[in-house]
Structure 1
Amino acid sequence: MGVIKLQLKINGLWLLLIVAAGFFCLLYIWFTLFPGRVNPEVLNYFSEQQVHDGRAYSFVPGLLFALSFLAQAAFLIWLVFGGRAVAISRFFQQITGRSIWSYVLFFLVLWLILKLISLPFDLYTSFFWQHHWGFSTQTLGAWWSDYIKSSGLELVLSAAGVAILFGIIGRWPSFWWLITAALVSLWLVLQSLLWPVLISPLFNRFEPVRDPEVTAMVQQLAQKARLPVDQVLVMDASKRTTRANAYFTGLFGTKRIVLYDNLLSDYPMNQVKAVVAHEMAHWKQGHIIKGLLMGVAANFLIWLVLFLVLRSMVPSAGYYPPYTWAVILLFFLLVSFVGSPLQNYFSRGMEREADRVSVMLTGDVPGAVQLEVNLAVKNLSDVSPPNFIRWFSYSHPPALTRISDIKQEGRELK
């Protein structure tokens, strides 16, 4: 049988996704290479050297992000529409028959190839580049330990997911997308609930805040916000990075605010208070629940569209061969990339809301402004990113926007 008979056709939706993803990727590369003029307003808060350093640091991660996506997308497009996925799929079926093992073998081979494609980009961005700028405190051995641990976890969960997915497809060929969407939605909820207590401790140590001044400050903010804050934990982030950060995570009984140990050691108390207030604002405004609800709605829509796409591509009614997994991966890779601006738009909106509410809780506008300046300087943020890159990939507003929002909220409180 000739290769031409093994090829899948690119229909209108695939063409739209591929063209849109390619267009966005090329624009991203263009604006990374040629970011344009610096907004003169940033010089009210940052020196020219700080602005230059932020752009210089952001250049390589931005470029490698786009190139990594291009490499993976190009490989999957070649695999799916060049006939190779069908050929490999048939080879595994000849060995195992129509058993679940043909799907597992196809998944394992594809997972390994994609890991090898992305590895050089990940290694350079998260290890060598971080060491070049003095952020990483990891040894190469520790980096590999983290990488192997996270990859192993990903492999186990993904393999189980693939086996369940194709089991569902075989049993309910007309409604598999609905059942799968429901199970993935349940997984999103369980992940938010259990990740902080089961998975995060595999990579970091978490301890309750022991500083009585911090504890008193947290209790005072929680009382003002009317929140039952039971757990404020310190994470040993300094074993990997010099960066400072904090986050709010969990659902129901696993809710907690997590502070990097670097934040407590490197920032004054009024700025730590601003960070804690920001995370409490996420809690108070229900941002995790809102994010989950939007994720669940998008999840059902995407699986429905995928079902319609596969129905037009897979010839045998009710049977989806192992190569279907390559089609699914390509679909999700393109959709997640093209959908990044929408997802980040909602994320930035929540961050801006949390900034405003945090100022209401602390009443300390100068402290919040200085925090944004210090975070941007110490983390080498690009404080004047090109509009396209900000729109496409920023989950948080740039420093200047956050400072403006904080000052505006301060004026309204007077």
Structure 2
Amino acid sequence: MDILQNSLGQRLARFLDRPLFPWKKLIIGFSVAQYLFEGFLSIRQYRVLQKAKPPAVLEKEVTQDVFDKSQAYGRAKAKFELINGLWGQVQNLAFIHFDVLPKLWSWAGSLLLRFAPARFTGEISQSIVFVLSFIVIHQILSLPGSIYHTFFLEEKFGFNKQTPKLFITDMIKSNLLAFVLAPPILAGFLSIVQKTGNQFFYYLWLFGAGLQVFMITVYPIAILPLFNKLSPLQPGELKDGVEALAKKLKFPLHELYAIDGSKRSAHSNAYFFGLPWKKHIVIYDTLIEKSETEEVVAVLAHELGHWSLGHTTRLFGISQLHFFYIFALFSVFINNHSLYADFGFLTEHPIIVGFILFSDALAPMDMIIKLLMNILSRRYEFQADAFARGLGYNAELARSLIKLQIQNLSTMEADWMFANYHFSHPILSERLKALNWQSTEKVAADEKKDKEAAAVHRRAADAAGLNGLFSRLLDRQLKVSPPPSHFESIPVSAQTRPLTPPDRNQILLFSPDPPPVHPCVLGHQAQLRLPPVGPPARAARGLHARLGRGGRRGGGGGGRRAQERHHGAPRAGRRHADPVRPAQHAAEEQPADPEAEARVPEPDTDQDRAEAAQEEDCQGAQEAVHLNETVEGRQA
């Protein structure tokens, strides 16, 4: 078998290693062709995003306003991706035309000769400096696009929660993490290739599989806490429901966590990770806040369906085959003199450079594999939906999908070619049809409850000392609402997440201590006991499994109720005091008087509005204290 493999590999290597073979032109052609093809698909999708009416299956589910916002968000993202892709093409062509790779390689060697001891001047050390330099250059060149996407595009649609300070901090942490992890991984990779001969791809494959398992174990312990806070899910109806589901399915649940995803993102997410015998479930605070308990459990029924149906195991196996195929093909290219020479490496053949060029040459095959994997992934999503439906969560899953679609302004209709190439999840209309969903009433977000949630966040922000501008920003974010919307479990192979984290936020949903007393009631003797509150989040992104992608993602009305249940509040139907918004509840219980409302003067200026809002906040907080004292007195 080895003789046959060696013979085939040598023949293929000789066929590809031809003098004066135009590798540079070929790779440029692949790159430009891929951009043009994806641009063609984006134009097809852009036409769909110009439609004025929602799909028939969603006509009873979403308002025209929500559909219009979703279409506008999709068009804005499509324009950005086209322009950002063009910028990437310019970079790629410039790197090739000006021979940046050989110049950067020579610079890395000169730097080591000048500043490093003699023992650090070999190919491995030079490769590490080369790759780290490449990372920094790429970070700088991609910075304008990242800034625009975060602070302009996502900000415009109310999803951005990242401050410039947090953006810079994340970038620094990500780069430091890359500088820590890249050297040992690169050293191991290059040492295996150098020391194991022509069969290096076997050992490289084993190294990659071991690295994946290691990262699965280490990521939640050492890497994730650098960007997010994981808190054990507190006792309550949600925790009981998830644990009962896990027990029913014999899922090896070790711990349930809530993550402060709202620190950066208004998008919702849920996933599980861990080794086969020890799994952890993570739920974003945004999902808890915006969904009913039963809907969150339905989401996790879908996620655990992937595990129960063996999807994660199969995807892990497929990823290992993919790695083996890549490393085996690389063994054919590693000594390709014509490839190196055409890119300016006439005397040196660095392994890492060969791997980069080989990856570029593999682009057409990667497009085909991406298409096939998306087809398989969409099939698995339908199966997981059917699994949750079989457990009795059909209505809850459908409602949750619709809410997330509205909150995330996700794509509601897609061109079939664009969807097949880009989407790893079916679009909402396809999933609702598969669930045989029949609507009896709109599941769309409740605007009044969104306003209540916005007021809660504003008061929490005021109590924390944040300025009025940030409070108004929260109001606006809740009006437009959050991003990704299809559920996606994390295959074991994908649990080694990217170095750049998803998104985070500033006030934790499960903060250990209650927020400070509202400034308007500092004079009172009784303490105002507020439940921990977390603001909504911005846009989650990256290679992690999410609760949907609007194409790589307003507000839900049931979030506050889910949050109250999670914190042990009485169930709906019982009379109880809401310590956060007693004035609002009191107002809702009174019959409406249109004439009286007409007599209320409207604030004329921004100052009048600010004073009116402050007076309302103070009155609500004072009534909360009074109500709290009354309840405590009755209990006593």
TM-score normalised by structure 2 residue count: 0.57
Match of 1:397 among 426, 431, 438: 426
Q: Is contact 1:347–1:395 with CA below 8 Å preserved after alignment? A: yes
Report the AA paired with residue 228 of structure 2. N
Go from structure 1 to structure 2 and tell me whether the alpha carbon gap of 1:9 and 1:79 turns closer, same or farther (over 3 Å shift).
farther
Secondary structure of the corresponding residue to residue 237 of structure 1:
coil
Query: Which 10-residue stretch deviates more, 97-106 or 393-402?
Result: 97-106
One of 146, 171, 190 as aligned partner of 1:147: 171
1:273 to 294, 297, 322: 297
2:531 corresponding residue in structure 1: none
Once residues 243 and 68 of structure 2 are traced to their aligned partners in structure 1, the CA distance between those partners, rounded to angstroms, is 40
Q: Which residue is equivalent to 1:30?
A: 43
Q: Please give the alpha-carbon distance, in whole angstroms, between the structure 1 residues aligned to 2:235 and 2:189.
A: 48
1:371 and 2:387 aligned: no
Equivalence for 1:4: none
Question: Aligned ranges for residues 10-159 of structure 1 at < 5 Å?
Answer: 10=23, 14=27, 17-18=30-31, 20-35=33-48, 37=51, 39-80=55-96, 83-93=99-109, 96=113, 98-159=122-183
Q: Which residue identity is paired with 2:415?
A: P
Q: Structure 1, residues 39-63: CA drift from partner, whole Å, max 9, x if none?
A: 4443243233322211211233344
Do the aligned residues in 2 keep the contact of 1:246 with 1:260 (CA within 8 Å)?
yes
User: Matched residue of 2:198: which SS?
Assistant: coil
Q: Equivalent residue of 1:223, what SS?
A: helix
Contact 2:395/2:437, CA 8 A, preserved across alignment: no
Query: Using a 3 Å threshold, how does the CA distance of structure 1 residues 346 and 284 change in structure 2: closer, same or farther?
Result: same
Q: How far apart are the structure 2 equivalents of 1:380 and 1:191?
A: 33
Q: In the alignment, residue 85 of structure 1 is paired with which amino acid? A: L
> SS state of the match for residue 256, structure 1?
strand
Task: Return closer, same or farther for 1:92/1:238 CA change in 2, 3 Å cut-off.
Answer: closer
Which one is further off, 328-337 or 238-247? 328-337
Pairing partner for 1:330 from 360, 366, 388: 360
Q: 2:415 aligns with which of 358, 372, 386?
A: 386
In structure 2, the CA distance between the partners of 1:148 and 1:259, relative to structure 1 (3 Å rule), is: same
| Alpha-carbon distance, 1:87 to partner | 3.9
1:351 to 361, 381, 384: 381
SS of residue in 1 equivalent to 2:258: strand
Structure 1 residues 341, 127: closer, same or farther in 2, change over 3 A? farther
The verdict on how the C-alpha distance between 1:321 and 1:381 changes in structure 2, with shifts beyond 3 A counting, is closer
Moved over 6 A (4+): 315-318
Describe the shift of the 1:154–1:66 C-alpha distance in structure 2 as closer, same or farther (beyond 3 A).
farther
Output the aligned Cα RMSD.
3.1
Letter in 2 for 1:42: L
Counterpart residue identity of residue 27, structure 1: F
SS in 1 for 2:272: strand
3-state SS, counterpart of residue 289 of structure 2? helix
Q: Deviation at 1:141? A: 0.8
Q: CA deviation at 1:75?
A: 2.9
**Which letter maps to 2:372?**
L
For the 8 Å contact 1:8–1:82, the answer to whether it is kept is: no
Identity %: 22
DSSP 3-state at the match of 1:257: strand
In the TM superposition, what whole-angstrom CA distance separates every residue of 1:156-183 from its partner, at most 9, and x where no partner exists? 3233333333333333352333322321
What is the CA deviation profile of residues 334-391 of structure 1, one whole-angstrom value per residue up to 9, with x for unaligned ones?
A: 7655643223222222222211111112x13222211111110011111112222211
Supply the distance in 1 between the matched residues of 2:182 and 2:256 (Cα, whole angstroms). 32
What is the aligned counterpart of 1:299 among 323, 348, 351? 323
Alpha-carbon offset, residue 210 of structure 1: 1.3
1:67 Cα shift? 4.2
Structure 1 distance, partners of 2:226, 2:269, is: 19
Distance 1:99 1:125 in 2: 38
Offset at 1:235?
A: 0.9
**Equivalent in the alignment of 2:618:** none
| Residue in structure 2 matched with residue 241 of structure 1 by the alignment | 265
Partners of 1:200 and 1:290 in 2: CA distance: 25
Deviation at 1:224, TM superposition (A): 2.7
Structure-2 separation of matches of 1:321 and 1:59: 42
Distance 2:179 2:81 in 1: 22
Q: Is the 8 A contact 1:89 1:106 kept in 2?
A: yes
User: How many Å separate the matches in 2 of 1:80 and 1:167?
Assistant: 28
Decide whether the 8 Å contact of 1:282 with 1:288 is kept in 2.
yes
* Residue identity in the other structure for 1:113: I
Confirm whether residue 176 of structure 1 aligns to residue 200 of structure 2. Answer: yes
TM-score, normalization by structure 1: 0.85
Q: Give the whole-Å Cα distance in 1 for the aligned partners of 2:318 and 2:79.
A: 29
SS at match of 2:350: coil
Q: Which moved more, 1:158-167 or 1:299-308?
A: 158-167
Instruction: Supply the distance in 2 between the matched residues of 1:107 and 1:370 (Cα, whole angstroms).
Output: 47
Residue pairs, 1:179-190, within 5 angstroms: 179-190=203-214
CA contact (8 A) 1:306 1:331 kept: no
**Does 2:236 align with 1:207?**
no
CA-CA distance at 1:300 after TM superposition: 0.9
- Give the secondary-structure state (helix, strand or coil) at the position aligned to 2:257: strand
Alignment gaps of 5+ in structure 1? 1-6, 410-414
Distance 1:174 1:76, change over 3 A: farther
Judged with a 3 Å threshold, the aligned counterparts in structure 2 of structure 1 residues 136 and 87 are, in CA distance, closer, same or farther, namely closer
Deviation at 1:16, TM superposition (A): 7.2
Pick aligned residue for 1:197 from 216, 221, 224: 221
